[in-house]
Amino acid sequence: MNLPLFLSKKIYSDKSDKQKVSRPAIRIATIGVAIGLAVMIITVSVVIGFKHTIRDKVIGFGSHIQVTNFMTMQNTDPYPICIDDSLMKVLGDSEGVARVGRYSLTQGILKTDTDFLGITFKGIGPEYSTSFLANNLTNGQCPVFSDLKSSNRILISQMIADKLRLKVGDKVFAYFVSEDEVRARRFTISGIYKTNMTQFDSNICFADIYTINKLNGWQNDFCTGAELIIDDFTKIEETADGIVSQINKKPDCNGNILTSQTIYEAYPQIFSWLELLDVNVWIILALMVCVAGFTMISGLLIIILERTQMIGTLKALGASNSTIRRTFLWFAVFIIGRGLIFGNIIGIGLVLIQIHTGFVKLDPSTYYVNMAPMEINIPLIIIINAATLLICVFVLIAPSYLISHIHPARSMKYE
């Protein structure tokens, strides 16, 4: 029989009124562990949800990997590359690549009777994934984008629509300025999207790649680049290395030098900002573990001092200091375990409520989302629970040595 475990169960289940001090101490220690764990679960869920939400929005505009002309990386002007069927097959068959979509860019001006706005027109074709745009539509629908003919339909952001007072179904003129002429096109607003990412919403609208190529004076096989969607984001570097080995610094069918970059390289400032959030998480986790640890230490000291006579009796009966220390450490495990149960219920419960109701609102102009995004990561929650238990038990080892200073004769003389 495991004597320390048996004794700790007896102490923990003792509801005697004699223990007037230890019972509140146990409750406070349990509450401290529960609150600390709940805060850690909520913090981690918010940060993971926020990072993934912002990451997915950036990827929605720029994909995981981009293949472009080398000169485009060196200048703001879009230089074309030739992506024919053979190159599309090479990119599509690359390990880890799920989808390849060509795109073309050009600069233009949308003009109404009362206002105008300079924006970037992004031309996309039928192979381009529009699921991200469809999921962020606020009105209308995504047009059917073509690489063979122009539908003269565009998709604009809510921000652009508000500035120019446009709505779905309106017709608007767009002007494109080249070196020797100004060309005009009349477009119909097919849909309006909103991602709350000001960097993109303020200046990007979507049109047919056929239209944009004609405006740029490019042939059908020409485009600004190709965007690659991969199967597993955690393997983006491995997939990118495979793309680099196949196309980087190699010419296309017209001699233009190809190059590639990941979404991290295309928008380093956004991902650097997201990485800074990890520092806040570690600080909060450390503070909450300290709170749980200190409440457990104070609770254990109170319990040991109140159980002085019992400790003296056990020592008189031949129990070693090690046995008694392990008894109280097991006792602490029961308290911590109960706190972890309540902490999980509170933390996961609040996260689930936020996921399904979105009752915590945020300012989208500051946080890029209109409600606090949360995501439950079961493996990480299990690690947090295990780490909290181990750390709290570890910090209790030193206070448990107070038992060695309790003398049987002195502790029992008041019996």
Mean pLDDT over 81-106 rounds to 89
Mean pLDDT over 292-296 rounds to 85
User: 41 near 351, Cβ under 8 Å?
Assistant: yes
Return the half-sphere exposure (C-beta side, CA atoms, 13 A cut-off) of residue 349: 10
The structure tokens listed for 160 are: 């652009």
Lowest mean pLDDT among 101-110, 192-201, 297-306: 297-306
User: Rounded to an integer, what distance in angstroms lies between the CA atom of residue 46 and that of residue 84?
Assistant: 43
Please state the length of the chain.
415
Beta 204-208 vs 116-124: how paired, if at all?
A: parallel
H or E stretch at 410: helix 408-412
Torsion of CA 93, 95, 98, 103, to 10 degrees: -70
* Nearest C-alpha neighbor of 173 from the set 192, 191, 154, 158: 154
Question: With bands split at pLDDT 50, 70 and 90, how would you rate the model's confidence at 408?
Answer: low
Write down the pTM of the prediction.
0.82
The whole-number pLDDT of residue 415 equals 47
The whole-number pLDDT of residue 402 equals 75
| Continuous H helices in 136-192 | 158-164
Q: Which residue has the higher pLDDT, 410 or 183?
A: 183
Query: Which residues neighbour 277 within 8 Å (Cβ) at sequence distance 6 or greater?
Result: 47, 50, 51
Decide if pLDDT at 73 tops 90: no
Cross-strand partners of 192: 139, 156
User: 122 near 274, Cβ under 8 Å?
Assistant: no
User: Rounded to an integer, what distance in angstroms lies between the CA atom of residue 108 and that of residue 110?
Assistant: 7
- Name the most confidently modeled range: 34-48, 72-86, 387-401: 34-48
The whole-number pLDDT of residue 17 equals 46
Question: With bands split at pLDDT 50, 70 and 90, how would you rate the model's confidence at 7?
Answer: confident
Say which residue the tokens 């190709």 belong to: 226
Cross-strand partners of 120: 107, 204
How many Å is the Cα radius of gyration of the chain? Answer: 32
The whole-number pLDDT of residue 404 equals 62
Q: Which residue has the higher pLDDT, 231 or 7?
A: 231
User: 355 near 50, Cβ under 8 Å?
Assistant: no
